[in-house]
Structure 1
Amino acid sequence: MQFNVYSLVLLTAIFLFSFNTRSATWSENELHIQHGKLNQPFAEASGTELTTTIFTFQHASGWEYGGNFFFADYSSTSAGDELYAEWYPTFSSKALFNANYSGVLSDISFVMGVNMAPESDVLKYLPGIQLHLNVEGFQFLNVLVTAYLDDSEGLSAGGAPKEDDSWMVDIAWRYPLSLSSQQFYIEGHAEYIDERTSEIPGAVVESWVLAQIQARWDAGQAFFNVKDRLFLGVEYQYWNNKLGTQEEDSVVQALAVWRF
């Protein structure tokens, strides 16, 4: 991977996380391994599936004036490897302006998201707001509403086609539940990104719905009496119009998570 603007953004994000971790009011880091057969929407034959292993580093933290969420996926298949990352720094209106909220709404944050895929030279900016909801039983339940602004270099630079701008809605949650002496978590997110055109004449990038839902069992507590450290489970992924094509994913993947 060549050093370019995407690498610079990624390194900047890592630097800022390192800085913020020292001043964070809370911090959570996870390493994920997922394994399953995923659809390859840009393969020559429609419906091509390849065994895929995904290694993910995920970070979430809060500090005096907001928070950070970041993840980087390294996906490996027989067709090659890919890196993809997203970063969402947030700034709390409650902390910045002493805003008061009541009922279901606990806070509104301002967001400046970045999505990047270095191998295909894709770079997106996602400015918007995040609604923090206070719903009984959920550890968190957030609704993100953003623009989806393309800053990719396009075909002339050897990357994926440049796209027009669009918008996104994403809902993320974590719901704990106990069954007998065992602890489980249902967590994940569901997003909608609206359709847009690309630099290819007549081509439409279809609107999509992506849902990634994890069912986790706290295996560390069961085996070693160490809570919230080692999780085993599955992730169900449903992706309608995957990556803007007319392909679809509906697959269950094996999941292991180490939290530190």
Structure 2
Amino acid sequence: MKKLMYLGLLALPTQADVLWSDFSLSYLNGSHYEVGDTDREVATFEYVTGTSWGGMFMFIDRLHSDNGDKETYGEFSPKFTLLEFDQSSWVKSISAAATIEIGEDFTHYLYGVGAGFKPVGFNYLNVDLYRRNNDSGKDNWQTTITWAVPFEVASSEWLFDGFLDWSSAIGEQGTAASMNWTSQLKWNLAPYVGLKSPLYIGMEYVFWNNKYGIQGVDERNANLLLKWHF
């Protein structure tokens, strides 16, 4: 039977305790981008932390296209635990969730609720439902799913992780419903090069229907991936 452990927002401490954190740097190289130049390199900085309040994830992308175009994009996503369940429950927690998306000429605000799950074999599985407050245009809805599944092949460490974003259509301005399923399959090289923290090499694959809500613009994009956690 599920047992409610606490109602987080009624017992927030004045200062969050950091329970764990992780930094990473990634490099991507792909040749099948849609909207703009097809060939791009992307450098990404990521930071994620778990706290006594909930947690936070952020990343900053720096994109360089072969035609000389450059772009910076980032997201900041805090979560605040509302409900936490005991070890017997398949639901880990319920949280208030938010995301800020910052691009070259826009800032979008997303707010909603998220659920964390703990299926066997997963490091994590999260589902968030947001209302999107768009900088220029009508608001819409977004669902975000994130996951990570570690596994071994011949004693080598592998990780399959990623996210799926689905955004609803905005009929008044001709924006189509969009689905971005981006996944990474990567092998940990760290044990073979004397590193304690993970160093991954692998592939990122982007399966994006109606990119940026543009009807009929579908991206199928494989990227070479190198990612170092520190």
Could you tell me how far apart the structure 2 residues matched to 1:205 and 1:257 are? 34
Is the 1:166–1:193 contact (alpha carbons within 8 Å) kept by the matching residues of 2? yes
1:35-92: CA deviation from partner (whole Å, max 9, x where unpaired): 0113332x5xxxxx52100010111101111100101111110241011111111001
C-alpha RMSD over aligned residues: 1.7
The CA deviation at 1:24 is: 1.4
1:91-123: CA deviation from partner (whole Å, max 9, x where unpaired): 0113xxxx5455221100101211110x2x211
Query: Structure 2: 5+ residue runs without aligned partners?
Result: 1-14
Q: Within the alignment, does 1:88 sit opposite 2:77 as a pair?
A: yes
Could you tell me how far apart the structure 1 residues matched to 2:140 and 2:26 are? 30
Name the structure 1 match of 2:53. Answer: 65
Which letter does structure 2 place at the counterpart of 1:167? W
Could you tell me how far apart the structure 2 residues matched to 1:187 and 1:57 are? 17
Could you tell me how far apart the structure 2 residues matched to 1:114 and 1:244 are? 18
Q: Within the alignment, does 1:31 sit opposite 2:25 as a pair?
A: yes
Name the structure 2 match of 1:205. Answer: 175
Matches for 1:241-256 after TM superposition, within 5 Å: 241-245=210-214, 246-256=216-226
Could you tell me how far apart the structure 2 residues matched to 1:228 and 1:214 are? 18
Could you tell me how far apart the structure 1 residues matched to 2:43 and 2:73 are? 11
Matches for 1:1-260 after TM superposition, within 5 Å: 23-41=17-35, 43=36, 49-77=37-65, 78-94=67-83, 99-100=84-85, 102-117=88-103, 119=104, 121-150=105-134, 152=135, 162-197=136-171, 203-224=173-194, 226-245=195-214, 246-260=216-230
Could you tell me how far apart the structure 1 residues matched to 2:46 and 2:106 are? 20
Which letter does structure 2 place at the counterpart of 1:172? T
Query: Structure 1: 5+ residue runs without aligned partners?
Result: 1-18, 44-48, 153-161
Which letter does structure 2 place at the counterpart of 1:39? Y
The CA deviation at 1:140 is: 0.5
1:154-192: CA deviation from partner (whole Å, max 9, x where unpaired): xxxxxxxx2210010011011000111200000001110
Length, aligned pairs only: 213
Could you tell me how far apart the structure 1 residues matched to 2:213 and 2:70 are? 20
Is the 2:32–2:222 contact (alpha carbons within 8 Å) kept by the matching residues of 1? no
Shift >3 Å, 4+ stretches: 99-102
TM-score normalised by the chain length of structure 2 = 0.87
Amino-acid identity (%): 24
Could you tell me how far apart the structure 2 residues matched to 1:63 and 1:203 are? 40
Could you tell me how far apart the structure 1 residues matched to 2:176 and 2:32 are? 19
TM-score normalised by the chain length of structure 1 = 0.77
Name the structure 2 match of 1:10. Answer: none
Could you tell me how far apart the structure 2 residues matched to 1:39 and 1:231 are? 23
- Higher relative contact order, structure no. (Cα contacts within 8 Å, ≥ 6 residues apart): 2
Q: 1:38 to 1:79 in 2, by over 3 A?
A: farther
